[in-house]
Amino acid sequence: MLGRRGTLPFLVGPPLAWLVGLFVVPLFVIVLFSLRPESGIVPPGSAWNPSLIQYGKVLDTPAFLRLLGTSALVAFIVAGAATLLAYPVAYFLAFRAGERATLYLTLLLVPFAVSYLLRIMTWKLMLGPAGVINSLLSGAGMIGEPLDLLLYSRPAVVITLVYVWIPFAALPVLAGLQRIQRSQLEAAADLGAGPWARFWRVTVPLSVPGAVAAFFMVFIPTVGEYVTPTLIGGTGGIMYGNLIQGFFGSAGNWPLGAALAMIMLVLTVVLVATAARIVNVRRLLS
């Protein structure tokens, strides 16, 4: 029988190889591209003369940095809203759904069975000038003209992203809530705590690790989001990810796109590390 040392390579090896081959190495390649001094299409046979020119170009462009800040703020709002809205859903599944929890959890995950693009396009129908929301407001006599704010705007991006992430955010919150020992709630009740006191002083503190995990799981990918802003953001809803996508795609300028991507990565890591330090994740997890 294999011991711990013997089984470790078989358990860790495949995912590690996958991660190294398809994440670490490509990331390293992106770093190398970001250090290329050429702009635009890199001519074949170009000498390797590493330079920080691309980084300088990004840092010297206030509009790029402002958009990065705006994108981080949007990600913060989306992650916060999605986590808050997911919490009651997860609470219901953990403590109130009973035997039907599996059914409700399946229903919660049904949207994942539908193409992401299709779900986003559906929001165009919801938010458009002749869409469901404008029609309802107009039908109720609340507005005379369709609200332009609903589509092709940053609020439209935030609304749609929150919708997209709620089921995703509910999962880590649910996992956190399910870890709470019922005996702890019973002990609180025995000590005279009412339902609200039990919730605020026992359930919420013990579920914070799950909520923090949900927040970061939404925040990190949202900073670089570009599909939703492309489809429903309009010119006012453009995010930093759109710049990166543009340089890697239509502009064909990988070095500058790579520098933009690396700066975003560094900022995201710094923000997450700072936030983790502030909320003291290690203590929460222990």
Partner 1 sequence: MPVHFVRRAFVVLASAMLVLAACTAVSPSESATESESASESAAVSVAPEPQEILVLEWGGYDDPAFFADFAAASPEVPVSFEFGLSDADILGKMEAGSQADVFHFYSGWQQFYVDQGLVQEIDTSQLTNWDKVPDSFKAQGQVNGIQYFLPWDWGFSSILYNTEEVPEVTSWDVLLDPAYAGHISMWNDGPAAVTVSAYVHGYDETAITDQQLADIEAEWIAQKPLNAFYWSSEYDDLCPGVMDQTVWIAYAWQGCYATALYEGTPVAYANPSEGRNSWIGFYGISADTDSYQLALQFLDDKLADLTMSNVVNLFYYGAANQDVMDAIEDPVLIEAFGVDDPAILESTNFTPPVTDAQRTAWTEMWARVAAE
Out of 14, 56, 205, 249, the residue judged to bind partner 1 by CB under 8 A: 249
Minimal distance, residue 139 CB to partner 1, in Å: 18
Q: What distance separates the 2 farthest-apart alpha carbons in the chain?
A: 76
* Contact string (CB under 8 A) for partner 1, positions 122-151, x = contact: ------xxx-----------------x--x
Nearer to partner 1 by C-beta: 16 or 285? 16
CA dist., res. 71 & res. 65, Å (int): 10
Minimal distance, residue 40 CB to partner 1, in Å: 4
Nearer to partner 1 by C-beta: 152 or 219? 152
- Number of Cβ within 10 Å of residue 178's Cβ equals 14
CA dist., res. 73 & res. 75, Å (int): 5
Q: 3-state DSSP call for residue 24?
A: helix
Tell whether residue 195 is a contact of partner 1 (CB under 8 A): no
Q: Segment near partner 1 (CB under 8 A), from 29-37, 79-87, 101-109, 160-168?
A: 29-37
Tell whether residue 48 is a contact of partner 1 (CB under 8 A): yes
Nearer to partner 1 by C-beta: 28 or 200? 28
Give the residue carrying structure tokens 């927040």.
215
CA dist., res. 187 & res. 77, Å (int): 36
CA angle centred on 284, ends 279 and 285, rounded to 5°? 130
Nearer to partner 1 by C-beta: 109 or 125? 125
- 137-163 residues labelled b (16+ CB within 10 A) or e (exposed): ebeeeeeeebbeebbbbbebbbbbbbb
Minimal distance, residue 255 CB to partner 1, in Å: 10
Q: How many residues bind partner 1 (CB under 8 A)?
A: 50
Minimal distance, residue 171 CB to partner 1, in Å: 32
Out of 86, 247, 261, 268, the residue judged to bind partner 1 by CB under 8 A: 247
Nearer to partner 1 by C-beta: 152 or 216? 152
